[in-house]
Structure 1
């Protein structure tokens, strides 16, 4: 959990990306609701109707017969789709990427905010099936309502921080849905440890949902992780097993958390990862997450999973917008299948 803290408490100030070229054309921004059947009936009471921001390329309306690849971008902990759009500086960065030669794609930003500030892009009876929401409900809706190329080789998945974790997790499990991955500054790659005693005590002391929303970052993140990875439907009102009870560490809960760490999951999903056309990962040289990210890269390399890894100058949030414009979207433009490419 200490690494998640280092990631999410960093000032997510984004360095200004290159300005759009004079020839940059406006994209169309759609703000929609997507119903997630996979989220229905979750014990936490999360809405199954999710906000989604969609960016359509400049020529979309003028070329009614053309179909496009799609890039799904997942936000980090404590964010919403709109907050992520602010961090990415979209639509300006999307327009600038297209103007600089990146092939046209549809860009989709889903909102996965929850009671405890983040879904971890995981699946549990407590929070709902967020993996299913992304891979089935969201993809199906976008393919049905927009002119996409409805094929895994024309779909990319990207994400930053908790979203980077989501890309690693979902990517390992669902190569039938996506054809390329871009993992940005991923959190939570290694097994979570028990939070410090003061934070653990504050978590145990909470009795109501209202109290939970007033917690500081680390206790609230502990609830988010527990809701995602150690659910317990017989423990209202939060329906979780916490990592401590009366100050005593519950190692069985930590083992359940560890089972959700991509560095622990990797060996069982090597063959899935080998199916991707391309996998890229990056992280800032001042980001505490770079050690785990480098290990994931090295472990994939050793397992025969082709991937590229870059450590750039920056911290956890300082270059997200410029990387999205100048690296992420051009990457997907190169590797995703599109008509006439």
Structure 2
């Protein structure tokens, strides 16, 4: 646990970054247990981190919080996203969109050029162990996480720890999230570098007409256009030819280093001679045009080195997931890519689809923009969305101790009569259909009669709960199971009894339905893809009895709600004014914006209409 003295010391050095009560602390992590990681930016064998502490951590020095590790891209360091994330998190917490958590910003940077040991380096470690770059994977696992848990008020449990990143950091979050499920309950990436498209799945984004050398399509696209035709490096493959060539050398330094192979100290995944000139073969070969992205015929192709490609595939998330299916099913997973970066967008989509084919739920979002669009502004949705997904997973672990899935073949009725009682506390209950039965509609009816009671959450004991109706799905699962495309959900709650009661307690949620299905939302740079199925109708009929939805007084805090998410749903509330009662003052929320991605994202601040129930109230 971080002590007050340490916090106050941090304030002295980070006063310009002290915003809205939250705090950024620059700290040095000693490398003790792992292989030395070259660290030219710091004195001694240490690595810098920048830690975001939410205001709640400063106000409650004995409280412990979940923790997210944020990995920057190639050339980035521990300060790349620290200030931007502070602004975004402060806003999200203020809006009630996420619970407070700590963010640790990691520094993976290396020099770009000759290091002090005389060997060439390529800016970043790719977060793996390498003979050239050092043991950065070991550093994160053996040094970084134990240090953070010992010096900051984190909850030292994988269920309260997640990892995320952008570009190179996106690859790192995939790699660590998949290979270290014992450490992380969730991982997400923004434009994560899909280097597997260079190796195992280059054919998935290649031309429609295959040709010899086809497996080298993406390597050809990166390397051939940048080979100079004159000067000292004419005809050679070097890291100085251009940014795409440099990226291949950076990959090689991580995945196929060779400290005995100067001057670049790597083995490339294609044939080159002693002067670094590539072996080329003739034929109709295609690459991406660097000007407009179209495919053009170069007439030449590189020649693969299968032994080196085999080394690269050992780090391939697309293949690694095959050996980690069951653990990944228990994690929260998020992918995104930009419409102006076809390779990264294809990589995110294909990895999501691969996971779907293995029965792994994950979320894929295509946003409007390029590789670095909309990362640091608090107005942008990319990191906001990842933070919300991760907060949802933390909420499941922190608040809801169990997650029950009731799978029905189509329709279902919950009928409570006489003095029957149904109470959900500290639990998430999901009612969903079985996709492979080709069921296209779910209709869930809850009827409470006589003196029966149905309660979601216990306000007095502060035991919240969630009842969710509708299948969880992603765009990738829709692609794997097209029948779900037209799957619909209907729901109803009918109260008809002198003392019949349906109650939703504080911080609890009754969520029915769906979200925006692959259409643009009014959220900047985001395409909405819901994690629930399409809601077509919901009826609340209070003939006789009491509908009670509690509400927390402070407008920025969580409140219970009947959460209705959909684009075309018909909501009807029918109340008998003589015998029916609505108490508690909580909102029935109609959300068409996919910021509200899942009922477990409990807060509805910024989306709900204050002041009570809306949408087709009928008191006749």
- Shorter-chain TM-score category? 0.7 to 0.9
Q: Closer, same or farther in 2 for the Cα pair 1:217/1:39, shift >3 Å?
A: farther
Q: Deviations over 1:133-168 (max 9, x none)?
A: 222311111100011100000001111111111111
The gaps in structure 1 that reach 5 residues or longer are 1-23, 207-211
Q: CA deviation at 1:338?
A: 3.8
Q: CA deviation at 1:39?
A: 5.4
User: How far, CA to CA, are the matches of 1:82 and 1:205 in structure 2?
Assistant: 33
User: How far, CA to CA, are the matches of 1:41 and 1:329 in structure 2?
Assistant: 32
**How does 1:28-67 map onto structure 2 within 5 Å?**
28-37=23-32, 40-41=35-36, 48-67=45-64
Name the Cα RMSD after superposition.
2.8
Moved more, 35-44 or 115-124: 35-44
| Structure 2 counterpart SS, 1:82 | coil
**How does 1:256-271 map onto structure 2 within 5 Å?**
256-271=311-326
Q: Closer, same or farther in 2 for the Cα pair 1:234/1:189, shift >3 Å?
A: closer
Q: CA deviation at 1:54?
A: 0.3
Counterpart among 269, 274, 280 of residue 334 in structure 2: 280
**How does 1:22-33 map onto structure 2 within 5 Å?**
25-33=20-28
Structure 2 residue 220 is the aligned partner of structure 1 residue 225 = no
Structure 2 residue 386 is the aligned partner of structure 1 residue 328 = yes
Residue 161 (structure 1) aligns with:
167
Counterpart among 281, 286, 303 of residue 358 in structure 2: 303
**How does 1:68-83 map onto structure 2 within 5 Å?**
68-83=65-80
Q: Deviations over 1:72-105 (max 9, x none)?
A: 111111222222336xx23211211211111110
Counterpart among 338, 346, 366 of residue 291 in structure 1: 346
Q: Closer, same or farther in 2 for the Cα pair 1:215/1:199, shift >3 Å?
A: closer
Aligned 8 A contact 2:40 2:110 in 1: no
Between the two structures, name the one with larger relative contact order (CA 8 Å, sep ≥ 6): 1
Residue 19 (structure 1) aligns with:
none
User: How far, CA to CA, are the matches of 2:304 and 2:196 in structure 1?
Assistant: 18
User: How far, CA to CA, are the matches of 2:253 and 2:34 in structure 1?
Assistant: 14
TM-score, with structure 1 as normaliser: 0.81
Counterpart among 135, 142, 151 of residue 141 in structure 2: 135
> How many residues matched?
309
Aligned 8 A contact 1:44 1:238 in 2: no
Q: CA deviation at 1:232?
A: 2.0
| Structure 1 counterpart SS, 2:149 | helix
| Structure 1 counterpart SS, 2:24 | strand
| Structure 1 counterpart SS, 2:154 | coil
User: How far, CA to CA, are the matches of 2:353 and 2:383 in structure 1?
Assistant: 26
User: How far, CA to CA, are the matches of 1:63 and 1:104 in structure 2?
Assistant: 12
Q: Closer, same or farther in 2 for the Cα pair 1:223/1:43, shift >3 Å?
A: farther
Residue 112 (structure 1) aligns with:
108
Aligned 8 A contact 2:35 2:138 in 1: no
Q: Deviations over 1:176-213 (max 9, x none)?
A: 0011111221112424254424756859676xxxxx6x
Q: CA deviation at 1:267?
A: 1.6
Q: Closer, same or farther in 2 for the Cα pair 1:83/1:42, shift >3 Å?
A: closer
Q: CA deviation at 1:236?
A: 4.6
Moved more, 35-44 or 73-82: 35-44
Structure 2 residue 261 is the aligned partner of structure 1 residue 235 = yes
Q: Closer, same or farther in 2 for the Cα pair 1:35/1:51, shift >3 Å?
A: same
User: How far, CA to CA, are the matches of 2:369 and 2:312 in structure 1?
Assistant: 29
| Structure 2 counterpart SS, 1:97 | helix
The gaps in structure 2 that reach 5 residues or longer are 1-18, 112-121, 199-217, 280-302, 400-461, 465-620
User: How far, CA to CA, are the matches of 2:38 and 2:260 in structure 1?
Assistant: 10
User: How far, CA to CA, are the matches of 1:72 and 1:42 in structure 2?
Assistant: 18
User: How far, CA to CA, are the matches of 1:270 and 1:71 in structure 2?
Assistant: 22
Q: CA deviation at 1:36?
A: 2.8
Question: Whose helix fraction is larger, Structure 1's or Structure 2's?
Answer: 1
Residue 180 (structure 1) aligns with:
186
User: How far, CA to CA, are the matches of 1:45 and 1:234 in structure 2?
Assistant: 22
Q: Is the radius of gyration larger for structure 1 or structure 2?
A: 2
| Structure 2 counterpart SS, 1:320 | coil
Residue 255 (structure 1) aligns with:
310
